[in-house]
C-alpha cells in the first residue's frame, strides 16, 4: 500500500489503484490493465460509484445462469486476478465452475503467475490454456483455451472482457456473462448478461445472489433467465450516466 492516508476522500479508489500497481509489479496484471482500469474509473464516477437497480437485476440473472449451466467456467484476466482473487475462488467453489486463466496480452509467465496467485488465495485447481486448443473466430491470444474448460463451456463468466471474444463466443452459441462499467462497450452489448458495476462490488453481490438462489427450484431460475432483458439494464445504466441520477 502506498502512503495514501485513510482519511483521503478518494481512499477506496486509490486503494484499488494500489492493488493493480502491485499486480503489475508481481507480473500478474498487464501494464495495459492500468489504462483499462482508468477507463472503468471514469464510468464508475459517472455511475455514482454504486451498483444501481440495473446491476442488481443483472447480478440475479448471472447467478441464475451460473446455477443452471451444465458446464460453467469463470474466465480470469490480469485485472480481475489482482482486484478480486478471493471472490473468484469463492464463486468457483459456490458454483462448481472452474477458474480458467485467459488473457488478451500474451505472456506465459503472467499466466503462470496468475494461477499461482489464485492458488495462494485458496484455489485448488486453475485451468491454463494449453497453447494448442483454440476457439474459432478469435484472432487474439484469447483464442487459446483449456480443452476441459472454455472449449466445452455452455456458460462463461468473463468480467472485463474485450468485445472480440465475447462476440465470437456468442456466435458459437455460448452464453456470456460479463461485468463492465461501460454500458456502451461492444462486450456489454453483445453479452447475454452485463452487470454494469465495478467488479469489486459486483463479485460480493453475485456471491450473495448465488447463495440466495441456490435452493430455488429449476422453474424459478428459468423464470429469472426468461424474464431478463439485457438491453433494458444497459439502457438504465446509460440513462444514469446521461442524467447524473436526476
Ligand atoms: O490481462 P489481460 O491481458 O487479459 O488484459 C485485461 C484488459 C482489461 C487489459 C483487457 O481485457 C482490455 O484491454 O480490456 P478493455 O478492452 O480495455 O475492456 C475493459 C472494460 O472493462 C472497459 O469497458 C472498462 O470500462 C471496464 N472496466 C475497467 N475496470 C473495471 C471495468 N469494469 C468493471 N470493473 C472494473 N474495475
Please compute Rg for the chain using Cα positions: 17
124's CB contacts (< 8 A; 6+ apart) are none
Q: Is 194 in the pocket of ligand 1 (CB under 6 A)?
A: no
What is the secondary structure of 7-37 as a DSSP string?
TSTTHHHHHHHHHHHHHHHTTSS-HHHHHHH
Which of 246, 243, 241 lies closest to 50, judged by CA?
241
How many Å separate Cα 94 from the centre of its chain? 16
User: Quick one: pLDDT at residue 1?
Assistant: 55
- Distance, CA of 160 to CA of 81 (rounded, Å): 11
Ligand 1 centre distance from Cα of residue 154 (Å) = 23
Ligand 1 centre distance from Cα of residue 189 (Å) = 15
Mutate to test the pocket of ligand 1, among 160, 188, 197 (most ligand atoms within 8 A of CB): 160
Q: Output the nine-digit C-alpha cell for 80.
A: 480481475
For cell 492458488, name the residue.
Answer: 119
Q: Is 144 in the pocket of ligand 1 (CB under 6 A)?
A: no
User: Quick one: pLDDT at residue 246?
Assistant: 77
- Indicate which residue's Cα is closest to atom 24 of ligand 1: 40
- Indicate which residue's Cα is closest to atom 16 of ligand 1: 162
Query: Cβ–Cβ contacts within 10 Å for residue 31, how many?
Result: 11
Q: Is 189 in the pocket of ligand 1 (CB under 6 A)?
A: no
- Residue segments in the chain with a per-residue pLDDT below the cut of 50: none
User: Quick one: pLDDT at residue 131?
Assistant: 85
Q: Output the nine-digit C-alpha cell for 125.
A: 485447481
User: Quick one: pLDDT at residue 13?
Assistant: 85
- Number of the ligand 1 atom closest to the C-alpha atom of 162: 16
- Number of the ligand 1 atom closest to the C-alpha atom of 36: 17
- Distance, CA of 97 to CA of 29 (rounded, Å): 22
- pLDDT, one tens digit per residue, over 38-79 is 999 999 999 999 999 999 999 999 999 999 999 999 999 999
Q: Is 103 in the pocket of ligand 1 (CB under 6 A)?
A: yes
Amino acid at each position: 500500500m502506498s502512503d495514501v492516508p485513510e482519511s483521503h476522500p478518494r481512499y477506496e479508489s486509490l486503494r484499488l489503484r494500489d492493488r493493480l500497481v502491485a499486480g503489475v509489479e508481481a507480473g500478474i496484471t498487464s501494464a495495459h490493465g492500468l489504462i483499462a482500469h482508468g477507463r472503468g474509473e471514469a464510468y464508475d464516477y459517472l455511475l455514482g460509484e454504486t451498483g444501481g437497480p440495473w446491476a442488481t437485476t443483472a447480478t440475479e440473472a448471472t447467478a441464475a445462469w451460473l446455477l443452471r449451466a451444465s458446464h460453467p467456467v469463470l474466465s480470469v484476466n490480469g485485472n480481475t486476478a489482482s482486484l478480486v482473487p478471493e471472490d473468484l475462488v469463492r464463486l468457483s467453489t459456490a458454483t462448481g465452475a472452474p477458474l480458467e486463466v485467459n488473457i488478451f496480452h500474451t505472456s506465459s509467465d503472467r499466466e503462470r503467475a496468475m494461477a499461482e496467485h489464485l492458488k495462494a488465495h485458496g484455489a485448488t485447481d486453475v485451468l491454463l490454456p494449453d497453447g494448442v486448443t483454440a476457439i474459432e473466430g478469435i484472432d487474439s491470444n484469447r483464442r487459446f483455451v483449456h480443452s476441459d474448460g472454455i472449449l466445452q463451456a455452455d456458460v462463461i463468466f468473463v468480467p472485463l472482457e474485450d468485445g472480440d471474444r465475447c462476440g465470437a463466443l456468442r456466435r458459437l452459441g455460448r452464453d456470456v456473462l460479463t461485468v463492465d462499467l461501460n454500458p456502451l462497450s461492444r462486450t456489454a452489448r453483445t453479452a447475454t448478461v452485463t452487470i454494469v458495476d465495478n467488479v469489486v462490488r459486483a463479485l460480493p453481490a453475485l456471491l450473495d445472489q448465488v447463495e440466495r438462489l441456490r435452493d430455488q427450484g429449476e422453474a424459478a431460475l428459468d423464470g429469472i433467465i426468461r424474464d431478463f432483458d439485457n438491453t433494458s439494464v444497459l439502457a438504465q445504466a446509460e440513462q444514469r450516466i446521461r442524467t447524473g441520477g436526476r
